[in-house]
Amino acid sequence: MAVTLDSSIQTLPALIDEGARKAGEQVAHYYKKDGRWVPVTWAESRAIGRALTLGLYSLGVRRKDAVSILASTRREWSYMDGAILALGGVVVGIYHTSTPEQAEYIITHSGSRALVVENKKYFEALSVRLNHMPDITAVIVIDPEGVNLNGQVISFDDLMKRGQTLDKEQPSLYEELVRAVEPDDIATLVYTSGTTGPPKGAILTHRNLVATAINAARDLPISSQDVSLVFLPLAHSLQRITGYTGILTGATGYFAESIEKIQDNILEVRPTLLASVPRVFEKIHARILQKRADMTPFKRRLFDWAIATGDELAQLIRQRQPIPLGLQLRHRIADRLVLKPIRDRVGGRIRFFVSGGAPLAPEIAKFFHACGLLILEGYGLTETSAASTVNRPDDFKFGTVGKPCPGVEIKIANDGEILIRSPGVFQGYFKAPEQTREVLEPDGWFHSGDIGVMDSDGFLKITDRKKDIIITAGGKNIAPQNIEGMLKASALIANALVHADRRKFVSALIALDADETVRTLKLPQSLASNPRELAARPEVAKEIEAHLHKVNSQLAQYEQIKKYHVIGHDFTVDAGELTPTLKLKRRVIEQKYKDLLDSFYTED
């Protein structure tokens, strides 16, 4: 069942209610409980949302009030999102990996009236700070076990009961609240994770988000027959837009148990679509290569032949060329012996993946395509309500982020910066007019901060972040993200930071994926928890040196990495080295390893 894209739908409550009403008793989503997937129909989901909306109203939350949500990705997050929107409130998502200090800043800065937390862990992290949050009048705990509930602190279930009671007393109140919501009301404040400084709250209206979701539904062939796994942070725009698009198209979502269980859940759910960040594809790619490394010499040759055959066919598909009969026959054999088992590792039903949030190495996209798995890379920012450009299944080009979505205008400034104007462009940063003026022109053009080019076929290619462009002491401009992406093509490398600003040559910090390194090189398992010793192993040095030589051979001389240091573990969010969306906090890492980086350039 695909919901008709009705142009009269201009607010998210209207979108959600209409989708739920038309879908009726069909399954909206599943969640895992006691080892089995439990279905929730659209009608049940709608009833839960209605009760929660009225429950919030009973607590004194009103239209235009902000409500913060601090929880991992789960169905209750989505229920609360819809409930707050139906009330006319403002949703403020907080990454569950945030520190208590970061969460307190967002809750206070947004002026949130209520706070939703996942469990005792998150409640205790913030309870001592509640005295510093004067606007908070109520705290809702999704899993209240171990939490002392009182007048101000109530459980998720109690909130629903309050709403159900109010609904009986005022049966028309919910509809009155939904009708009062206007397209230009603020729907959400999305606080950018930020690679430097405190996060900024991007103001996104109902009009912004509805327009973007409708564009996604029109751009991508998604229907009620599709199944997807929900696991990206709901505090991030990409997963929220994916969810709203699912409502428009009638697709069914399965809420993953956790990030750690993604691989198991994929095999259980067998999704037809999957939206993700590049890191997930990089890990799948690394594990496939690790399996290859464990094969006998004969099976490795067979694997390589099959991938080469798949790549030969995939190239002709990309060039829209006919497939010779001989290649078709070879491909059938390659597919049966090697390629289909690879596709089965991601459920065997994938029609296409969608990748966003960070650059995806073209080599990884081509490898997946050779296996019969299409990754469609898109581009957008928090400030553009996620997608502004996207590759389509029938119109794609690897190494690009696709063509503009309907209604999106793209132009390249004189300095190479990508400017965007569209119905999805945000209204500005909350309580930050000066920062808003720095990026948003009066005529609606948003300065993305990304550098890119538009090719002759209309595909946009991102070359780097404007602020991340490195200028060497010799005056050469270097785009570090491109080189870092090439380095991460190795199964051993989880992350890399290229360093050269105002330096004589390029150096790099190479962060190992400890588990993959141990598996690939067949090292003692104990080394996975001993990063210093792991990084010092000669087997690791040999593999990294060989890969670095391969990368350098594809770079201009001034881009080539002359010195590097191997770190035996990945950069982490907890250490402040990565944003919650896994982007490098370049300045933080450079400061942390300043002495080491400086030593690369010390004259003997």
Q: Which residues contact 374 (CB under 8 A, 6 or more apart)?
A: 351, 352, 353, 368, 393, 396
The confidence score (pLDDT) of residue 194 equals 55
Comparing 132 with 148, which gets the higher pLDDT? 148
Predicted confidence at residue 3, as pLDDT, reads 41
Question: Of the residues 179, 195, 212, which one is the last residue of a structural domain?
Answer: 212
297 and 443 together in one domain = yes
Q: Mean pLDDT across the chain, nearest whole number?
A: 92
Exposure string over 508-541, b if 16+ CB within 10 A, otherwise e: bbbbbbbbbbbbbbebeeebbeebeebbebeebe
Looking at the domain assignment, is residue 264 inside a domain? no
pLDDT tens for residues 216-233? 888 899 999 999 999 999
The burial of 549, by beta-carbon neighbours within 10 Å (0-12 exposed, 13-18 middle, 19 or more buried), is given as exposed
Q: How far, in whole angstroms, is CA 543 from its chain's centroid?
A: 30
Q: What is the mean pLDDT of residues 144-154?
A: 93
Q: Can you tell me the mean pLDDT for 423-438?
A: 96
From 248-257, 394-403, 462-471, the region with the lowest mean pLDDT: 462-471
Domain with 320 in it: 276-348+350-429+438-465
* Cβ-proximal residues to 188 (8 Å cutoff; 6+ apart), any chain: 90, 91, 92, 93, 204, 209, 240
Cα–Cα distances (Å) from 380 to 116, 393, 455, 456, in that order, read 28, 18, 18, 21
Chosen domain end from 465, 481, 516 = 465
Same domain, 418 and 500: no
314-371 residue pLDDT tens: 999 999 999 999 999 999 999 999 999 999 999 999 999 999 887 888 999 999 999 9
Q: Please give the tally of structural domains in the chain.
A: 3
Q: Which is higher by pLDDT, 501 or 424?
A: 424
CATH of the domain at 280: 3.40.50.12780
Q: Are residues 408 and 493 in the same domain?
A: no
Position 579 in a domain: yes
For residues 421 and 511, state if they share a domain: no
Q: What does the pLDDT read at residue 460? A: 97
User: Residue 445: which of 502, 383, 379 has the closest Cα?
Assistant: 383
Pick 470 or 408 by higher pLDDT. Answer: 408
CATH number assigned to the domain comprising residue 19: 3.40.50.980
Residues written for the chain: 604
Predicted confidence (pLDDT) at residue 85 exceeds the cutoff of 70 = yes
What was the pLDDT predicted at 465?
79
* Predicted local distance difference test score (pLDDT) of residue 128: 84
Examine the domain organization and report whether 444 and 479 are in the same domain: no
Q: CA nearest 182: which of 210, 202, 217, 214?
A: 210
> Among 419, 428, 427, which residue's Cα sits nearest to residue 389?
419
Query: Is the same domain home to 458 and 549?
Result: no
Within-domain flag for 71: yes
Q: Do 459 and 484 have their domain in common?
A: no
Give the model's pLDDT for residue 325.
Answer: 97
DSSP code of residue 207: H
Same domain, yes or no, for 154 and 283? no
Residue 3 lies in a domain: no
The most confident of 149-153, 423-427, 503-507, by mean pLDDT: 423-427
CB distance 571 to 453 below 8 Å: no
Residue 245 pLDDT exceeds 90: yes
pLDDT of residue 604: 39
The more confidently predicted of residues 359 and 285 is: 285
Residues 477, 459 share a domain: no
For residues 155 and 183, state if they share a domain: yes
CATH of the domain at 497: 3.30.300.30
Q: Is 373 a member of any domain?
A: yes
pTM of the entire predicted model = 0.85
- For residue 226, being part of any structural domain is answered with no
The packing angle between helices 362-370 and 297-318, to 10°, is: 100
Amino acid 80: pLDDT = 98
- The answer to whether residue 220 is domain-embedded is no
Query: Quick one: 181 and 47 in the same domain?
Result: yes
> Which among 360, 386, 358 is positioned nearest to 582, based on CA atoms?
358
Shared-domain flag, residues 402 and 330 = yes
Minimum mean pLDDT range among 60-64, 190-194, 406-410: 190-194
Question: Highest mean pLDDT: which of 276-290, 361-375, 515-529, 570-584?
Answer: 361-375
Residue 341 falls inside a structural domain: yes
Residue of 414, 331, 316, 326 whose CA lies nearest to 371: 331
Task: List b or e across 392-425, with b for residues whose CB sees 16 or more CB atoms inside 10 angstroms.
Answer: eeeebbbbbbbbbbeebebeeeeeebbbbbbbbb
DSSP secondary structure code for residue 395 in this structure: B
For residue 68, what are the β-bridge partners? 92, 115
| CA–CA distance, 543 with 522 (Å, rounded to integer) | 13
